[in-house]
Structure 1
Amino acid sequence: MRNKVEIMAVKGGITQQPDIMAIVNAANAHLTTGGGVAGAIHHAAGNDLFRECQDLAPIKPGEAVITKAYNLPNDYVIHCLGPVYGKNKPEDVLLAKCYTNVLRLAEKNQITSIAFPAISTGAFGFPMEAATGIAIKTILAELPSLKHVEKIKFVLFSQEDLDIYQKKLAEVQ
């Protein structure tokens, strides 16, 4: 717990976080169903999410938009387009903008809890260690400005990814 915000990392699926008000979608530019996180979220939320997303797309790397969560056990989905590693420059700045913009949308919508996947680390190829460091550093820098967010959860699919997040979180606790 830092600045009254609880920060944790867990192994699991981003669509199965009923204790969280908003989950983050590692989206594609057109906010459509894709592989990985985006595919899982769109599949679980249903067609209404796809329809709402059509009016919000396209988005650029680092940008974030918010929708309802529909059939998910959450109130909102915040969609963020992470950078493609080696293509969208500067990758580290764009990835940090993802986390900053998501947290600012959460604050604007008075969201008290949020769950992040490991943005840009799947098909977009961002190295997990570097992405984890950027995520945690950016979130820690935003903590003083958070008035509504009380809980931040990183939801990782593999044990290896969870271990990286837990190690990096332990270094700053």
Structure 2
Amino acid sequence: MKRRDVLRTLVFFGVGSLINPAHIWMSCSPKVDRDIMDEGQIVLLGEIAETILPRHKGLPGAKDARVAQFIDQHITDCYTGQERLDLIQCIITIDETAKARFKKSFVRLGAKQRFELLQAFDRAAKANKDKENIAYTNYSKLRSLIVFGFFTSEPGMKKCLRYAAIPGKYSGQIAYKKGDKIWEFN
């Protein structure tokens, strides 16, 4: 074998190994629309989340945990098109209800008015009075996503729960005093 053939073979295999098969595979996959919610809807969602899980006595709130951005990413990656639209419609309906009831956007409401409005949505969702209204039926899902996003975030897990990284010893009985944080094992 000639030196030129050896060099050509080495270059061929070297360049071939640089082309990652994952890049080729990803170029064949369909484009995903990353802009499901616009910036205004993300801000609105952040305010809704902060009303549900506010900062309290030095503990982080939903904004600190970037729950709105998490939900935007989560519904982009995990929800079908109709589920996304239903959840976004729920967020829009909360703002429209605030405008109709208080003549202000939800973002401009005071803490008491926000709480009152979300409490009305919560009662309606629990009573399930209006099964035709998507906003009320999806409010429970939205609230669950907010809580899920918060407690799976680093600030929510490490500052609001007792955090014990695994591996660790197994303890079947853990002492608990009233007012203690709940345990989170990762």
TM-score between both structures, scaled by the size of structure 1: 0.23
Considering fraction of residues, name the structure with more strand: 1
